[in-house]
Structure 1
Amino acid sequence: MTHNRIPQLIHKYTGHDMIQTYTELPAFPDSRIRLLVACMKASGISPANQDLYASVVSLVQMGLDTHDLIDTHTGHQSETEMRSRQIKVLGGDYFSSRFYFLLAQAGQVQMIRALSEAVCEVNRIKMDFYGDMNKARLTAHEYLEYRILISSELFRAFAALLEEELSPQWNGLLSAFSQCETVMKEWQSLNDPGLFLNSWTYWHIWHTGTESERIWLGDLVSDQLPDGQALDALLVKYKIRSVLADKLHEHVASTKAMISQLNSSSLVDELSDIVDTFVQALSAPALHSEMR
């Protein structure tokens, strides 16, 4: 299928030797690309343009996500850590520059404008997001809403390309898929204590936990991992895995209900297959007793 071609098509950029040697790349936006490709195919967009549009939005998204991986703490860093930070900065810029080049080469001036405006909007949302985080004003629900907006905003630029019947449904489908993907990633991130400070779980415990637990959360610093035993105890106490798993099942059910309203049976089948991958992620071995 076309979506499987996209990582191969952009590998000439993402597989650069310096990037591979000194840093790790963010995850490829697989479910959003599959959704986009399926809807472009249903709208009669040529295979060449499907590849082009999916490739460029992948590069832009990975450029933005690479910049998000940059470590901003000011303490002492080894030469390898400093080099990794530099490559993240340059790699993110490099991916973004390739998006301009590929679209300009194809004469796609309107799409350059549309995606450029989308990048500006993503960065505006991120500024609001990080501002609210720094002021400790976020609820867990607001955290998820910000994450969903950030992951979906670039892809909204493609609504005008889709067929007249599908175009009005695009934003709803995109938001639904982004909800599923965001909650799935939050569930998966529970296996990595290094992601705890920037997670739905942190804000959920911040607002539902005891005063002593909030003090513990407030004392955490970005360049140190939280105490594993203390974190495990909180995850079990607040049944975090179960709560997130329930949220994901709810979003999957509502997304499938939305998909069932589409007129194309082949599109319904293809999108349903994508949604099923979110639930399949829950079959990964759990590390905490509440899911045993």
Structure 2
Amino acid sequence: MSKYALSLAEDMQEINERIGRLASVPFLKEYVDYPGLAENRLALLFVFLCDAGLGSERAKTLCTATGLMQLGLDTHETVKTHYEAGETADRNRQLTVLAGDLFSSHYYHLLAKAGEVMAIRILSESIQVVNEAKMRLYLLEKSNQLTWESYVSLRKTIDTALYIRFVEHFSIDASVEKFWKSLFEQTSAVEGMVGEWEQLQWGQRLPFGFSRYLTPKSDSPVAQVLTSVEAKAMEWLGVCEQMVRSFQSIENQRAVSWVTSRIMHRVSRLKRLVEEL
């Protein structure tokens, strides 16, 4: 690992620990399954903010707040529409909703304490964008009007709006803004595709999300779906790696390559496990 990647890994560990301390509620952990942190998107945000001239400590504060907000949104997405009847299931649903609200509320307190009024506004606006995209996705899906293009576009918005608002605010020019927005969108799409690949491979879910639109028939064999998912994941990952190589700053190139290498390692591990079956 290069010194740039090692430094980024250490910074991310500190950010993750800050988020963990604020989000750690022993009672909730007993009943709520915490979603994983969006480490790769937070790492990209940290590199971008530092490159934009923000100090390391300020960048960590903004990343911690964004990570808490993302954790809250992701927790709300785990709330099921149907639960088994019973007091325990009802309690778990209510606690999951409350946990998401709790994680989200921490971002405001953290930023207010740091005097980051503009960051509060940025995240508040991005939350509105995320929720509008979620509603649009739901309505299109319910009316059977959701296409591959609209799904990819809305999913990218849902997964990256928190980060892209910072890019729009702190970018020094239009070309920088366009590049970072594309990098966030492309890496989040790859992560989403790889996540579906993993769940489909181990039979945890039927085709969903991206994978529903990659085969011509809804009743296509799972093996065919997996082949399509793998091909698209590798295609998108190749685009990400090409974008990273286009960085003029070698330091940024090596730091951001830490993110793509993490995704590639995840893919390689999945392939290896499949081959060993």
Q: How high is the TM-score relative to the length of structure 1?
A: 0.82
Superposition deviation, residue 194 in structure 1: 5.2
**SS of residue matched to 2:206:** helix
Map residues 58-207 of structure 1 onto 2, 5 A cutoff.
58-73=67-82, 76-159=84-167, 160-163=169-172, 166-191=176-201, 193=203, 195-196=205-206, 198-204=208-214
Counterpart in 2 of 1:248? 233
From the superposition, tell whether residues 97 and 156 of structure 1 become closer, same or farther in structure 2 (CA, over 3 Å): same
> 1:16/1:192 Cα in 2 relative to 1: closer, same or farther (>3 Å)?
farther
Q: What are the ranges of 5 or more consecutive residues in structure 1 without an aligned counterpart?
A: 214-232
Alpha carbons of structure 1 residues 197 and 79: separation in structure 2 relative to 1, 3 Å: farther
SS in 1 for 2:80: coil
Residue identity in the other structure for 1:121: V
CA deviations over 1:268-290 (Å, ceiling 9, x no partner):
01112211222222223469989
Cα distance between partner residues in 1 of 2:36 and 2:199: 13
- Shift of residue 43, structure 1, vs aligned partner: 2.9
1:245 is paired with a residue whose SS is: helix
Cross-structure match for 1:36: 45
1:47 equivalent in alignment to 2:32: no
Task: Report the identity percentage.
Answer: 25
CA distance in 2, matches of 1:253, 1:88: 36
Aligned partner letter, 2:188: S
2:65 equivalent in structure 1: 56
Are the structure 2 counterparts of residues 284 and 241 from structure 1 closer, same or farther at C-alpha, using a change threshold of 3 Å? farther
Moved more, 104-113 or 154-163: 154-163
Change (3 A) 1:151 1:101: same
* 2:243 maps to amino acid: M
Unaligned runs of 5+ in 2: 1-9
Aligned to 1:27: 36
Matched, 1:283 2:274: no
- Do the aligned partners of 1:241 and 1:290 also contact (CA within 8 Å) in 2? no
What is the CA RMSD across the aligned residues, in angstroms? 2.5
1:223 match: none
1:271 matched to 2:256: yes
Aligned residues: 266
Q: Point out the more displaced range, 45-54 or 275-284.
A: 275-284
Shift of 1:116: 0.3
**TM-score normalized by the length of structure 2:** 0.86
SS in 2 for 1:10: helix
- Is contact 2:41–2:188 with CA below 8 Å preserved after alignment? yes
Closer, same or farther: CA 195–19 of 1 in aligned 2, 3 Å: farther
- Rate the CA distance shift 1:150–1:63 in 2: closer, same or farther, 3 A: same
Q: Distance between the aligned counterparts of 2:138 and 2:276, measured in 1?
A: 32
Question: Could you tell me whether the CA contact under 8 Å between 1:43 and 1:163 is conserved in 2?
Answer: yes
Write the deviation string for residues 244-270 of structure 1: whole angstroms up to 9, x where unpaired. 121122112222222222221011011
> Counterpart of 1:137 in 2: which secondary structure?
coil
Q: Assess, with a 3 A threshold, how the Cα gap between structure 1 residues 63 and 188 changes in structure 2: closer, same or farther.
A: same
How far does residue 25 in structure 1 lie from its aligned partner after superposition? 1.1
**Structure 2: how far apart are the matches of 1:92 and 1:191?**
29
